[in-house]
Every structure is written in C-alpha cells, then in structure tokens.
Amino acid sequence: MGVASRYWQLVKIDGAGRRQVQEISPAKAFFVDVFPAIAYGGQNAIADNTDRHVPDAEIQLQLLQLSRDAPTDRYLLAQRCLLCFISWQIEQVCLQLAANFGSVHGFGCADLLPYVLDDDGRLQPHGTYQSLSQKILQSFDPQQSSLTTWTTTRVKHDAALNQFLLECGVYMVSDWAILNDTRPQQLERIFREFYALTPPEIQQAQQLLESYHAIYRTARLQQRSLSIGGKCTTPTTQQLQEIATLLQSQTSQTLKSETVMTQLQKLATQLREYRIHVRGGSLPTKSLDAITVDEYTDTTKALDNEDEQTEFLQLYRPQFLACLEQALAVVTQSRVNRLQRKKGEKAKKFLQALKLFHCQNLRMTEIAESMGLRAQDAVTRLLKLKEFRADVRQQLLLLLCDRVLDLAKNYSYPDRLITLEQQIKLALDEQITQVIKEAGNQSQTAKINTIENGLFRERLCRYLDSLNEEI
C-alpha cells in the first residue's frame, strides 16, 4: 500500500541544490477524476486524505495504460502522476544508500539527490532531454517487476550516481559478483602488481578463487541456463563445505565453512579496493594528522631498528609537509597560468573562489552570490576541484617518492632497495590518498562546519594567504 499524495507531489531539486516537494495541481485533479473512490475515501475533501494508503499496483497499472493509450492531454497527466511516484521512490533509494554507506564514506542523501532527481515537473516534455524518471517509466514492464523495484534497480545502476559513489569509495557490486567475474590470471596480476604479495600468498588466493568458481560460479551458470536470474546470493553452508573440501584436496588444509567464508570475503574486499582504485575512487586509509610511530608502520616496515625508525620519521614528516606545500603551489600556479591565457579575470576569480571554499568554508551557492556568478554550477566549473585534487596528488607523489627513497637508502641494505622502493611507493600512495580524501570530503558533503582542518586545507590556505596581494 502507498500514499495517494505521492501521485501528484513531486520531489525535486531547486536551483540551489535543495530538496523541495512541488504539488502539481493538474496531476492532482486528474488523479481525483480517475480514482474518485480512492481519492475521497468517503470523505468530503481530498485534502483530508493526502496520506491515505492506496493500492499502488492497481493504480500504477491503470495509469500506465492511460499513459500509453489515452488522448494526449490525458496520457501526459497519467504519465505525470507516475513520474511523481517515481521521484519519491528515487529519494527512498538515496536515503537507503546514505544510511548504509554515508557515515563511513562521508556523504548524505542530499549529496546523492542532484545526480538522480532531474525531473522539472513539466507536463509537456521540453526538447529531447530525458530525465532519469522518464527513462525509468519508458523502460518499465509491469510483467517483469513492480515500479518500485524497477526504479530501485535503475537508480542503483545510474552512471552518474555510481561515479560519485565510487569517488567516495563505494563500489556497488556484491562480493560474490566480484569473485564471479575475476579470472585467476587477473587475480595473480593484481596481487603481484598492486598488493606486492609473495608468490605463495598469490597461489593460495588463486586456489581459493578457483575452488569458489568450481562450486559457486558453476551453480550460478547452471541457474542462468535455466533462465533463473536475480542477484548473486551468499554461498550456502553446503557450498562453503564443498569449497573447503576442494581446497583440502589441493592444499591438504582442513578448513571450516566459516573460515572459507571469511577468506572469500577478505579476497573480495581486496579486489573491490583494487577496482575502486583503478576507477579513480578513494580507498580507506589511515590519517596523517596523528603523528605516532605506529601510524607509519606501512612506510617503515622495511626498517629493522626502532631507533632508526624514529629517526626516519623525524626526517620524513618535514619532507612530507614541504612536498605538499610545493605540490599545492605548482598546481595552483599552473591553473592560474592556464586561466590567464583566457579572456576576463578568470585567474583572479579562481583564486578568490578557492580561498572562499577552503579557507572560509563557504558553500558553492554562497560563493556564487559573493562573486556575482550566475549559479552554483558556474563555481563548480571554475574550481574543478576533483581535477585540482588529482593534480596535487600526482605532483605530491612524484616529489615525495624521490625524497623518501633517498632518506630510506640510509637505513637499508643495497640488496633490499628494490623491494623497499615498491613498499614505500605503495605506502606513500595510501597516505597521500588520505590527505586528498580529506579535501574531497569537503566538496562532497554539506556539513561544512564539521570538517576537520586537514593538512591539505591548512597548507593550501597558508599558500593562498601568501598571495593576498594577488587575490
């Protein structure tokens, strides 16, 4: 059962990016005309019954038929009623995603809505552009699923939404689907090049994946051959026991089904993090703000002596800060030089907007108003924060790798330098990612006042202060 008012009230995003609910009077009048018994429910006015529970499936089937067979004026109104309903379901999906992943990955429902709520509420389509809601409605088949289920599926597969989630570190594919479409040869390359694991560790992971394929994926393929679709479900206890038995025949190890499950989930997590990385997303990392020896065990795991580790860290920290400042200066000046070649005062506006956003905590809409720009999107295009952070990250990694490797050579034997270089590059990449992620969280969330003063922002503001006479 649903709520009647959702067929004439549209959830939308206004020009400032805020959620609002718009009542569409023609859609409301049409709904009352088509479903008088449901709308009035024996009462004197529909206004008294906007929260009345209604049979969604029956209503949607009739509206869908009208949207395809009725005269133009009526089919547009029937379509609008369905589009209103879809907008509410889109919001529910975003609320669910935010509840499941938002607190860990730094986003809320309000950050997701602009990617999927692009319906302006018009009765007559404007131009050739199709909103996501219109695409959902046009592709909906009531014989295959309910409108609620179909909307949920399409939203979770939306390219723009998934790209945003990926940048936040959320990869919307189940563990079992990831394991299903990863070949043992791929796993060997990923674990060797990305994780730098030893050959025995790689072989153990390959044997686990091959056993999983032999039992779980084979059963999955058999289901598909019988036209049994659906999502990949968690392996059953019997399947886990069969995987354990197969592993035992290859390795002589006796494993419990619970252990196999844990190992499969760990393997899927590693593959998920690799996919997020290669698609440009953010990986979970440790903070650089708290300076303790333990925080840097990844960087220094090749160093043997505790005193040497302490000395190394004392030298490393200033190098990191110096390289970060240099990277910020190089990338900022490069952007300014590029903008100066264009007409107008774009370079100066870029520096002003950068300072307002990072140093004064203003929102994009507030920056646009302060600088006399047309709207929030004008500020977004001017700053290009994702590109800016990516350039800083790359520049920082280049600068820091050279300096840290030179430092580390004083604390390691020559025959270990090749292994040491790979370990340090991976560790630095992880730690730099955290600094850039802190800056990214500021642009991805609306909670400006709760953002910590991370290294990226602190050093950028210090650099911008030094340019005061130019801004």
pTM, two decimal places? 0.48
Residue 85 has pLDDT above 60, yes or no: yes
Planar angle of CA 32, 33, 35, nearest 5 degrees: 65
Q: Of 186-200, 201-215, 252-266, 322-336, give the range with the top mean pLDDT.
A: 201-215
Phi and psi torsions of 51, nearest 5°: -105, 15
Q: Are 86 and 137 within 8 A, CB to CB? A: yes
Task: Return the CA Rg of the chain.
Answer: 28
Residue 88 has pLDDT above 90, yes or no: yes
Give one word for 302, left, alpha or beta, with left for phi > 0 and alpha for psi -120 to 50: alpha
**Total residue count of the chain as it appears in this document:** 471
More confident of the two residues 288 and 319: 319
**pLDDT tens per residue, range 362-419:** 888 888 888 888 778 888 888 888 888 888 888 887 777 777 766 665 554 444 444 4
Amino acid at 213: H
**What pLDDT is stored for residue 408 in this prediction?**
61
Residue 233 has pLDDT above 70, yes or no: yes
**What pLDDT is stored for residue 416 in this prediction?**
44
**pLDDT class for 21, splitting at 50, 70, 90?**
very high
Give one word for 169, left, alpha or beta, with left for phi > 0 and alpha for psi -120 to 50: left
**What pLDDT is stored for residue 219 in this prediction?**
86
**pLDDT tens per residue, range 200-210:** 899 999 999 99
Q: Reduced to 3 states, what is the DSSP secondary structure of residue 372?
A: coil
Looking at the chain, the whole-number percentage of residues with pLDDT higher than 70 is 74
Q: Residue 198's CB: how many other CB atoms inside 10 A?
A: 10
